[in-house]
Amino acid sequence: MRILVLGGTSFVGRAIVDDALRSGHEVTLFARGRTVPGLRSQPVLLRGDRRNGDYAALAEGTWDAVVDVGGSVPRHVRQAGETLGDRVGRYLFVSSHAVYAPGAGPGADESAPLRTPEWDTEEVGPDTRGPLGVACEQELTSRYGGRATVVRPGILAGPYDGGDQFTYWVRRAARGGRVVLPADPGQPVQLLDVRDLARLVVRLVEEDRGGVFNAMGPAEPLTLMGMLRACARAAGSEVEPVLVPPETIKARFPLVRPDPVWEQTFQRDFGRAREAGLPSTPLVTTAADVLAWDRERGEPPLGVGPTEEVERVLLSYVQGA
């Protein structure tokens, strides 16, 4: 198949491109060309800038499918659709679980209520990301109808992850010893290996399948404690979790969701994606691959989670209490 990927060089898109190439498809990338992918076999890169509405490089060509990983405001999707029109067969948009309104109970599926769409700003932040995503999805389906596919991933993990949330726990578990866990250890966690998401996306376009798909993982329910143990197993380390009441500390820990509303975000139903072929890589494998990648890149400071120093202070406080 001929697949056009809007984006495709950083994390999520990179995994999709890698899977598509491995599956024997012909891939074209559209991006500014600032992020260098270093993929095994380099696809053609068409340069443009969605922020400026510069889609001139896409004025010609036909593709069986377009996978949009870089659209964050509805104008991006509208302009891409206006440019590509019927020169693409299927338009798959990688959206996110942020589109869901809070409050749906555990087990909520793709029919759960969405946030109110936002059309009047292009500022993407914690309050607007979800509403802008809803507007992107509406822009897509109003143009492409049955030729539209929407994939809504939860938190993703894997090599090249710039979000650092899972990487924090992988790195922390590898260090071993006493580990501060400021949460209910039984708190559910949903985490999807980015390569599983990529397989689902490529499969959906291969099968020309429309509709909306939640994309979470792993297949079996996971808790925070289970995640920490899996990370330790991947590293061959020993960890001793030290449970701390979350309300007693200010430091924020990745993937810890004290608020019950947010806890529900980790109990979404993703049966439709599983039925469509979403794989479930064992978490130990994901953790081992993240650990290897993180070490290879030299373990730079992470954007989330407490530093070693802050955790040491927390531990001494807990020991002294």
Chain residues binding ligand NAP by CB under 6 A are 7-14, 31-35, 48-51, 69-70, 94, 96, 153, 155-156, 163
Q: Which is nearer to ligand NAP, 305 or 311 (by Cβ)? A: 305
Please, what is the minimum distance in Å from the beta carbon of residue 70 to ligand NAP? 4
Amino acid identity for residue 181 in this structure: L
**284 C-beta neighbours (distance < 10 Å), count:** 15
Instruction: Report the alpha-carbon distance of residue 118 to residue 74 in Å, rounded.
Output: 9
Q: Residue 60: left (phi > 0), alpha (psi -120 to 50), or beta?
A: beta
Cβ closer to ligand NAP: 14 or 274? 14
> What is the bridge-based pairing of β-strands 63-68 and 222-223?
unpaired
* Minimum distance from residue 320 beta carbon to ligand NAP (Å): 37
Please identify, using beta-carbon distances, which residue of 33 and 146 lies nearer to ligand NAP: 33
* Least Å from the CB of residue 34 to ligand NAP: 4
Minimum gap (Å) between residue 29 Cβ and ligand NAP = 7
> In terms of CB distance, is 22 or 51 closer to ligand NAP?
51
Angle at CA 95, nearest 5°, toward 212 and 285?
A: 95
CB 181 within 8 A of CB 241: yes
Nearer to ligand NAP, 94 or 135 (CB): 94
Burial class (CB in 10 A: 0-12, 13-18, 19+), 316: exposed
Cβ proximity to ligand NAP: between 15 and 230 the closer is 15
In the complex, least distance from residue 187 CB atom to ligand NAP, rounded to whole angstroms: 18
For residue 169, count other CB atoms closer than 10 A to its CB. Answer: 28
When CB distances to ligand NAP are compared, the closest residue is 13
| 86 close to 201: Cβ distance less than 8 angstroms | no
Residue 162 CB, shortest distance to ligand NAP, in Å, is: 7
Instruction: Report d(CA 5, CA 205) in Å as an integer.
Output: 12
Could you tell me the smallest distance in angstroms from the CB atom of residue 101 to ligand NAP? 17
| Tokens coding 210 | 């429309």
How far is the C-alpha of 188 from the C-alpha of 183, rounded, in Å? 11
Dihedral pair phi/psi, residue 5, rounded to 5°: -110, 120
Closer by beta carbon to ligand NAP, 68 or else 311: 68
